[in-house]
Amino acid sequence: MVWFYKRSDGDLRIETRFDSITAEYVLEVAWPGRPVMTERFADTGAFESRVLALERQLDREQWEQIGSPEILPHGWRWDITH
């Protein structure tokens, strides 16, 4: 799934997916003005903890979600509970 956020200093994109080749959960974050950050996780617990920590960070930093998450046409889909 892909989430989009905005703030006065730019736009942010978060993508979550499952890499079936490596059997890893993938978190990609495209912060404004920075290279895309990619993190990989072997288990769902660590992945979920990291995504929830990122959600808390975005709340603290006053990022505003734009629209609903978009489901990727390929691979694994994961819904973050708000």
pLDDT tens digits, residue range 9-67?
999 999 999 998 999 999 999 999 999 999 999 999 999 999 999 999 999 999 999 98
**Domain extent for 12:** 2-70
The tally of domains found in the chain comes to 1
* Residue 59 covered by a domain: yes
* Residue 79 covered by a domain: no
DSSP H or E stretch at residue 1? none
* Residue 21 covered by a domain: yes
* Residue 8 covered by a domain: yes
* Residue 48 covered by a domain: yes
* Residue 80 covered by a domain: no
**Could you read off the pLDDT of 60-74 as tens digits, one per residue?**
999 999 988 777 666
pTM: 0.82
CB 70 within 8 A of CB 77: no
How many angstroms separate the CA atoms of 76 and 19, rounded? 8
* Residue 66 covered by a domain: yes
